[in-house]
Structure 1
Amino acid sequence: MRQTVRFNKTFLVAPVLLLHTALSAQTKAGAPFKTALGRVIYNFSYMKDTAHRSYFYTETFELDYDKSSSLYSSYTKKESDSATYSQVAKAFKEAPDPDHVDVVLTGKTTTNNQFFTERSGKTSVDELRNLAGTAFIIPAKRPAIHWSVTDSTKTIQGFICQKATGESYGRRYTAWFCADLPYRFGPRRLNGLPGLILEAYDEKREIVYTLNRVEDFNAGIPPFGLPANAETVTSEAFAKAEEAYERNPQAFIDANRKKMSGIPKPKSSPLDGFDVSKIKSVSVRKSKTDPSDITLNNPIDLRND
């Protein structure tokens, strides 16, 4: 099934600015982006609906990291964004009237939120969300994970890993970390072990992260970080911002336009050369990721207090 949403050209500002924000800006306090030392790619499997225990949502994620920080984000979304850029370029190229371009965007719904972990000083895990080009940072509420490391070991794709267990946001996790990769990061909110987490799952195996691959160090991975123009808010405040955007997208964009005006245009962006004022309409036809009878009654974070 496909979900179709149509926008006139005024509402195109939202997806275009969203793409710009994802590719640009600096970290908090104006610090430059971090230079990545490496990347881990995870296969993610998630039981969203406990009434349908045989169905698992799947997506691919990446973890970019240096010695003191990491950024966890959707690798599937990155591939989807590349397809979006190609679709915009094709629409401009094939438009009968170059001053009135109709753009059709297709693809699958992916995860938009990211998790930035900073371990210099007190460990923090900030959730990064984007809404119509405006970046929001939602600080972690729960304390650091208290891991119990055991003597159990196993080999994952040639990496010798050790077992640890700990609780994160209401779920009890088993994590397998590799001390030969001495970076204290892992998928999403999981971190703090003396090595990269290469596999993790909760005790009911409703949330499962398995290793896809570990990429070579210095393999041309782009710098990463948090945007300096981001607004730090609570999860409750972000929920209200989402409601305001859904009620009146253009009013939300206009209210935040001043904040977005300082966003630098990314270099060598696939959007370079496009005059968005010439886009007459946008049709978004995203395939539904889940079957129609699936409901989200099993959040990843069971506790968020």
Structure 2
Amino acid sequence: MKTSLMTGLCFALSLQAFAQNPDQALARVKYSFVHVKDTTQKNNPYTENMLLVIGKNASVYTSLDRLNRKLVDDGKAKPEPTAPNAPFKPVSFQDYYFFVKENLFFIKEKIYNEYLAEENAPKINWTTTKDTASFSGIACKKATAYFKGRNWIAWYAPELPFQSGPWKLNGLPGLIVEAYDDKQQVQFHFAGMDKVTEANTNSDSFFYEKDIKLPKDAKRTDMKEYNRIKEFSVKDPIGFASAMTGTDRKNIRMGVSMTGIAGPTVTNNPIELPEKK
């Protein structure tokens, strides 16, 4: 199965001209995400199943748990019988788009409205090594880098010539299959990969269509404005709701969040840490 997948992907890459936006989706990669958000609770890390959809030029990284929950809510899939509390499990609400040729990076998030924030793709100064490893039969090489306040170790697959990876990790001469920081506080573990075919392409979800493309209805903004909006929504949720809806503050009633948790979870250890000066 692994050999046929590699052959099919390489064949698709050799035939496809340098992609424009939108880009043809060639494969979907699953990751198990582990994050020690609260360093006082190291034995109880946050976990989530994630999905990276990749093409020759573009990729999008999103929450697989969120996608599956929406399919269940829309009646297009059945809930997992082993996950009775799944509707209340926190999920990530950011989607990350990366376009290699254009050197552009986008974050999409719904904060009352859907916002699409644009910035230049983050530059990661990777150092490649001679170390090798295999993950689910995929031969990988090791690379290290200091990025967003952490020392990262990444394992990439030269035989899969995609420059993408989970989250904001990218820029290696091969798909990033595994990645983690040197303290093992943030980890992305490879959990499988499928070639995109007509049989598994459908319109049930934006992320299962045949192309990778930016959402049309999201409000375009820059990172500065996006961060300002996000900070406002977290620091003063009632004031934010009032500003967005035009409703007087005293008439705003804040209920339980859609993650099933009232208020923000404890995070004293975000993925992005202050850069060393």
Q: CA deviation at 1:77?
A: 0.3
The aligned counterpart of 2:98 is: 117
**Contact in 1 for aligned 2:35/2:186 (Cα 8 Å):** yes
SS in 2 for 1:139: strand
Q: Distance in 1 between matches of 2:134 and 2:147?
A: 24
Asked if structure 2 preserves the Cα contact closer than 8 Å seen for 1:109 and 1:287, the reply is yes
Equivalent in the alignment of 1:302: 273
Pairwise CA distance, 1:70: 0.6
Could you say what secondary structure the match of 1:186 adopts? coil
Gaps of 5+ in 2: 1-19, 77-85, 202-207, 248-254
> Secondary structure, in 3 states, of the residue corresponding to 1:51?
helix
Q: Which residue of 1 aligns with 2:230?
A: 239
Which of 42, 47, 52 matches 2:41? 52
What is the aligned partner in structure 1 of residue 204 from structure 2?
Answer: none
The Cα of 1:287 is off from its aligned counterpart by 3.5
Cα 1:304–1:115 change in 2 (3 A) is farther
After TM superposition, the structure 1 = structure 2 runs for residues 1-305 of structure 1, keeping only pairs within 5 Å, are 33-86=22-75, 106-121=87-102, 123-139=103-119, 143-218=122-197, 219-220=200-201, 221-222=208-209, 223-229=211-217, 230-233=219-222, 234=224, 235-240=226-231, 242=233, 246-247=238-239, 249=241, 251-253=243-245, 286-288=259-261, 295-303=266-274
CA contact (8 A) 2:96 2:167 kept: yes
Q: What CA distance in whole angstroms lies between the structure 2 residues aligned with 1:38 and 1:202? A: 25
CA distance in 2, matches of 1:149, 1:252: 47
Q: 1:225-253, CA deviations, whole angstroms, 9 ceiling, x for partnerless residues?
A: 22244221314322255257642536514
Q: Alignment identity in percent?
A: 25
Provide closer, same or farther for how the CA distance between residues 106 and 284 of structure 1 changes in structure 2, counting only shifts above 3 A: farther
| Aligned-residue offset at 1:32 | 6.1
Q: Distance in 1 between matches of 2:154 and 2:256?
A: 42
1:303 to 1:134, Cα distance in 2 relative to 1, 3 A? same
| Separation of aligned partners in 2, 1:42 and 1:289 | 27
Residues 68-112 of structure 1 deviation map (CA, whole Å, 9 limit, x = unaligned): 11100000000111222239xxxxxxxxxxxxxxxxx94322110
| Letter matched to residue 61 of structure 2 | Y
Letter in 2 for 1:58: T
Q: What is the alpha-carbon distance in structure 1 between the residues aligned to residue 228 and residue 48 of structure 2?
A: 27
Give the TM-score, by structure 1 length: 0.66
Bigger relative contact order, structure 1 or 2 (CA pairs below 8 A, ≥6 apart): 1
Q: In 1, Cα distance between the equivalents of 2:164 and 2:111?
A: 27
When residues 84 and 169 of structure 1 are mapped into structure 2, their CA distance, relative to the original with a 3 A threshold, is same
* Cα RMSD, aligned residues only: 3.1
Query: Given residue 144 of structure 1, which amino acid in structure 2 is its aligned partner?
Result: K
* SS of equivalent to 2:74: helix
Flag the structure with larger Rg. 1
Alpha-carbon shift at residue 40 of structure 1 (Å): 0.5
CA offset at residue 283 of structure 1?
8.2
**CA apart distance, 1:289:** 11
TM-score normalised over the length of structure 2: 0.72
Distance 2:137 2:262 in 1: 33
